[in-house]
Every structure is written in structure tokens, then in C-alpha cells.
Amino acid sequence: MVRPSLAELGGLVCPVSVPAGHVLFSEGEPCQGFPLVLEGEIKVARRSDDGRSLELYRVVPGELCLVSSASLFRAKPMSAFGISTRPSRLLLVSPPVFRQWLDTPAFRDEVLGLFSERMADLTSLVDAVAFHQLDQRLAAALLGHGSDLLVTHQALADELGTVREIVTRLLRRFEREGWVALGRERIAILDGMGLRALASALSK
């Protein structure tokens, strides 16, 4: 990434060395600085209310932290957390210096280019989670609760992080396959083996 030299910056950036597993920033907190990774790797992820986390991307030397830059652009709290996956060394650029760098056309163009690449990566992730694997995740959600589930399509949609219409469409497909029978706020499991075969693709 194009950036001013350390000599030009003087004491305006803070070199940081962290061990593996060190939390660099957390969801809901203000951005303390823009991280430029010199060595190592940073994982950026979001955490759900039940404690599960979804990895969004990883930052290695020469790449951009989308969450940090978005927070600085909008002056909003961080929307994800960042944790080092191995011993790492980075520069923590203060928000005023980051905004100063953006006045440099070469740096601004580099940031916007990397921003675009990260957005494409996240779009692919959303597509994979929300669409390509949703039938497998729904099949997994139906298993392990007996042969007769008292559950609404909306409750399943909330559990899977999608909308009711998509869940209903998939359940009707499952019914056509002979795996389930649908009733009012009730789903009868007719072919657990068929559902299990679909759900097992998640772990492959």
C-alpha cells in the first residue's frame, strides 16, 4: 500500500507487536487507529448474540482492514472484532493521520481500490452463507429434534439469519423430495436420512 514514509510521520504512528490471539479491536468500540500489518495476520469477524462468530476476512501485509476504514470514514463504532492469528507486527495510524493520508491521491486511490476488493470478497461470503448453503443449514436445523417439530417458518428464518419466504420455499422443496410433511406451525420429518445427507455437505 502506498503511504508516507516513517521518517515523514515521525511519532504520528505507533508500532505495535502482538502475540497470537491478541484482540486488536472489538465490536461497538470506537476505532482507535488504522492498522497497517507489517508481519503476521489479523482475522476480522463478527460475533452473534449466542457467542458464535463468522469470519469476514483476514488482513496480511499489503491488505486493507475494511472494518477499520469504514469506521474512520463514517466516524462510527467498529462493526466487527479483530484478533491476531499469529505473532504480528503492525503500525497503528491515528484517525487524524489517516484522514491526512487520504488527501494524498496515491494513498486514497489505493485505499478505495482495496476497499472495492474487500467488498467483493464480502459479497461472495454473504452469497455463500445466505444462499448456497442455506438448504444445508436448514436441513441441519431440522435434525435432532424428533420426528415432529412444532416450529414456525419465521422462527426457522430467524435462527438461520434469513427471511421467512426463503425458508418456506426450501421447505416446500423438501416436501416435494419426500423428506418432510408441512402443517400449520408443524413440520413432520419423514426421511431423516435424506435430510442428513444434505446437511452432511456442510462439513465437506
In the predicted model, what is the mean pLDDT of the chain?
83
Write out the residue limits of the CATH 2.60.120.10 domain(s) in the chain.
Answer: 12-104
Per-residue pLDDT, 117: 75
- Distance from C-alpha of 94 to C-alpha of 59, rounded to nearest angstrom: 18
Per-residue pLDDT, 2: 45
Architecture of domain 133-203: Orthogonal Bundle (1.10)
pTM of the model: 0.56
- Given 2.60.120.10, 1.20.1250.20, 3.10.129.10, 3.30.300.170, which CATH number is that of 12-104? 2.60.120.10
Per-residue pLDDT, 164: 86
Residue-wise DSSP of 83-152: EEEEEEEEEEE-HHHHHHHHTSHHHHHHHHHHHHHHHHHHHHHHHIIIIITHHHHHHHHHTTS-SEE---
